[in-house]
Structure 1
Amino acid sequence: MTAFADRAGYEVAAIFKETGSGAKLDRAERKKAMALAQARQIDAILVTELSRWGRSTIDLLSTLRELEGWKVSVIAMNGMTFDLSSPHGRMLATFLSGIAEFERDLISERVKSGLAAAKARGKKLGRQTGERPKSDRLAPRVLSLVAEGRSYRWIARDLGISKNTVADVVQRSRQKGAA
């Protein structure tokens, strides 16, 4: 995207990498871009594709209108820009966001269908109970450090495991002792 911006002659004010779903309305990186737009610090927002900005038609159109009010354009890397002040721009944005929302729903349906088929074949889904090689290997050391009076945080940091893993080792040990 940086190379695209350079070729197009855009000055890059900030780079945000959104890892959240386009379907979610509460996305931190998009909020940062919107804050820059509202503060009139940018003239355009460059996105890889329009569906990455928003996959909900209503959300996409409302944010595009907000941006239009601040005189900020949204430019997709495929070269499409959206001028929502014209009927043509509004129609195109509505059409493309509808397709993006449809695509997201299809993906969701396929995932649910695949999970149901796997379940029907007897596949167990989710985290499986079983051995915990690292925590089982470190259990004697964890228990001796707990017996010395060390804190769970200190033990976790010293052994390179999480505090919750330390707590789980201790809890399993107490359950074995009670049984």
Structure 2
Amino acid sequence: MDRSESIHTYIRPSTSKQTDEHQRSSIEEYLEERGVGLEDVNQYVDVGSGADDEREQFQDLLDHIRSKNVDHVVVWEISRISRRGATLQEFFDICENNGVTIHITDGAVEKVKPDGTGRFVADIVGMVYQQERRQLIRRVESGVRRAKSQGKWLGQVPAGFKRNDDGYLRPIINPKEDEDSYIEMADALERVEEGNSYRSVARSLSISRQGLSNIHQDDERRQWYLRGEADDKRVEDALKAFSEQS
């Protein structure tokens, strides 16, 4: 690898909250040891899941490889390319078919060459990452099922309610500055029922006019506030707890 060759780097933090600094530092150090600076390379950065094959920068990199304008691709570790086995194999194949050497700065294999050197170990590492991803998905799905079976509230919390420390839905009694209490929401919907406009009623609430309209036009949710009734047992239990406190 030298400056006269076409060198491309690829960085992918897992989420927008995760910094790419550790990947960038590792790649920069790897290049400097070989007399190459970041100014000598083409850099690609995506933010997103390794299960997403439509990452814009990743697709741009593939296009450049296919056009035979790339000699080397440098990544922090194999999972940054993808956690999907099929995508990873496709990437290896495209690089191999177009004479591209893949450099991994932090992994069990340092290089995957067009002649197949390093490919076997890289394939095994890729399968391990894929299995880890499957296990993670199973754990998440299991956790969601467990929470639902326990009556815990998942997802966005409805207006006038909060999720307590144990994960159960509870009506808000003493609202914070940016919250509406359950009583305020009930009163607001009663005023709408009496003929007041969504816009005028929403002026006294944190919830938007559209949010208030959505609740009022939802036959099931409207009854949570106007009659204190719910078909959803999680909401029913929350309202029951509220009535016992009142």
TM over 0.5: yes
2-side partners of 1:108 and 1:167: how far apart? 37
User: Which amino acid letter does the alignment assign opposite residue 31 of structure 1?
Assistant: Q
Counterpart for residue 147 of structure 1: none
Structure 2 residues without counterparts, runs of 5 or longer: 1-23, 162-176, 181-197, 201-206, 218-225, 227-246
Show CA shifts across 1:70-103 (max 9, x none). 22222112261112523x5332122111111111
Higher helix share: 1
Contact kept? 1:135, 1:169, Cα under 8 Å = no
Correspondence 1:1-179 to 2 at 5 A:
1=24, 2-4=27-29, 5-12=31-38, 13-78=41-106, 80-86=110-116, 88-131=117-160, 143=199, 168=210, 171=213
Higher strand share: 2
CA change 1:173–1:55 in 2 (3 A) is closer
1-side partners of 2:37 and 2:95: how far apart? 18
Contact kept? 1:38, 1:70, Cα under 8 Å = yes
Contact kept? 1:55, 1:101, Cα under 8 Å = yes
Look up the SS of the partner of 1:8 in the other structure.
Answer: coil
Contact kept? 1:82, 1:89, Cα under 8 Å = yes
Q: How far apart are 1:36 and its partner, in Å?
A: 2.6
Q: Compute the TM-score of the two structures, normalised by the length of structure 2.
A: 0.51
2-side partners of 1:170 and 1:121: how far apart? 29
CA change 1:128–1:62 in 2 (3 A) is same
Structure 1 residues without counterparts, runs of 5 or longer: 137-141, 145-164
2-side partners of 1:84 and 1:72: how far apart? 6
TM-align CA RMSD: 3.1
Higher relative contact order (CA closer than 8 Å, sequence separation 6+): 1
Q: How many residues align?
A: 150
Look up the SS of the partner of 1:85 in the other structure.
Answer: coil
Look up the SS of the partner of 1:64 in the other structure.
Answer: helix
Look up the SS of the partner of 2:102 in the other structure.
Answer: strand
Q: How far apart are 1:131 and its partner, in Å?
A: 4.1
Q: How far apart are 1:52 and its partner, in Å?
A: 1.5
Rg (Cα) greater in structure: 2
Contact kept? 2:95, 2:114, Cα under 8 Å = no
% identical equivalent positions: 23
Contact kept? 2:199, 2:209, Cα under 8 Å = no
